Amino acid sequence: MDYQDWEMLATLYATENITKAAQALFLSQPTLTSRIQKLEDYYDVQLIMRKRRGITFTPEGEKLAQHAKDMLNEQRKIEENINNMKSHVSGTLRVGASNFFALNKMPKLLRLFKQKYPDVEFQVVTGWSSDMHRLILNHDVHISFIKGDYAWKEKKELLYEEAIVVASPWEFSWEDLPAMPRIDYYTDENMKNLVDNWWYSKYNQRPNINIQVNQVETCKEMIVNGLGYAVLANLVVRPHPELIVKPLTQTSGEEITRKTWMYYHEDSLQMNLVHAFVDFIRGLDVKVL
């Protein structure tokens, strides 16, 4: 097996779907299927089995896929060590970022960092904060930008703290909320629990959710167009001063906030690239970007 075979098996194992794996690898499905067949012929074993939706690996395939993942990790370490031996900052920085951070902060951060270090490349993965937490735990990324607090014994630095608010296109009182149309959006479990705990500490009935969307940015557009209110982070609606925004508070009167952190492993600072990026972030006011 060579690097392309390792990458193919690791991607196929992660997606459990030939179509998705082919798209991720920029290959046609027939090409990917042919490469799998060649490996099966070489080892004289069946590596995958098709199921109703996608594929599953045979025991032999599982073994080979794990070997492929291990070899990719070793290759990555070798490349990072070689780049770290250079006097200038170069190489590929692997970053995970929560969805909102990726949309609103990452493009500017990466552009500014590349202006300072033009020989750096990036691999960026986005998703829920819980997914980004898992990536940094598994050393799949060098840095993760995560909203909320997750179990973590390594290094993390607070970037900013934002209020969680009710944003509405019209004036309202707190007593009005249960009857008002609410727009909800898919978010990570931490944020969902925070909002639910606040709601049921104030109200006995369920919220009147009449619109459900996938992304917080879509939710914001629904509010701006007068379709209902939502509970979200203040930074999302900050560009819209026409909205009525009120912060959530605890029973003590203290505002409910959510923190955004930069997570990383301390030993990764031995890499020039990671050390330079962490220092770069420390020197910025990320919240106002």
CATH number (domain holding residue 188)? 3.40.190.290
Provide the CATH number for the domain around residue 42.
Answer: 1.10.10.10
- Is residue 272 in a domain? yes
DSSP class per residue in 265-281: -GGGGGSHHHHHHHHHH
CB 149 within 8 A of CB 210: no
Q: What is the mean pLDDT of each run of 10 residues along the chain (289 residues)?
A: 88 90 89 91 91 88 91 82 72 94 94 94 94 94 94 95 97 96 94 95 95 95 98 95 96 93 94 92 88
Looking at the DSSP assignment, which residues form a beta bridge with residue 165? Answer: 232, 247
DSSP helix, strand, coil percent of the chain (3-state; round to 5): 50, 25, 30
Q: Nearest 10 degrees: CA dihedral of 132, 137, 140, 142?
A: 80
What is the predicted pLDDT for the residue at 102? 94
Let me know whether 153 and 166 are in one domain. no
> In the structure encoding, which two tokens stand for residue 74, read together?
């070793």
d(Cα 128, Cα 284) in Å, to the nearest integer? 24
Six-digit token string for 90: 């170069």
How confident is the model at residue 79, as a pLDDT?
79
Q: What's the domain range around 250?
A: 162-258
Instruction: Answer for the pair 147, 100: CB distance below 8 angstroms, yes or no.
Output: yes
Query: Domain total for the chain?
Result: 3
19 and 136 assigned to the same domain: no
Question: Is 174 domain-assigned?
Answer: yes
Residue with tokens 């459900």: 212
Tell me: do 151 and 272 sit in the same domain. yes
The pLDDT value given to residue 83:
67
Tell me whether residue 87 is in a domain: no
Asked if residue 280 and residue 228 are part of one domain, the reply reads no
Q: Which of 61, 82, 103 marks a domain boundary? A: 82
Is 267 contained in some domain?
yes
CATH number of the CATH domain containing 153: 3.40.190.10
Q: Which of residues 39, 61, 82 is at a domain's end?
A: 82
195 and 243 belong to one structural domain: yes
137 in any annotated domain: yes
Please count the other Cβ atoms lying within 10 Å of the Cβ belonging to residue 8. 24
DSSP 175: G
Both 168 and 147 in one domain: the answer is no
- Which of 23, 48, 21 has its CA nearest to residue 36? 48
From 49, 82, 115, give the residue that closes a domain. Answer: 82
Residue with tokens 């033009």: 118
Residue 40: inside a domain, yes or no? yes
Rounded distance between C-alpha atoms, residue 221 and residue 211, angstroms:
12
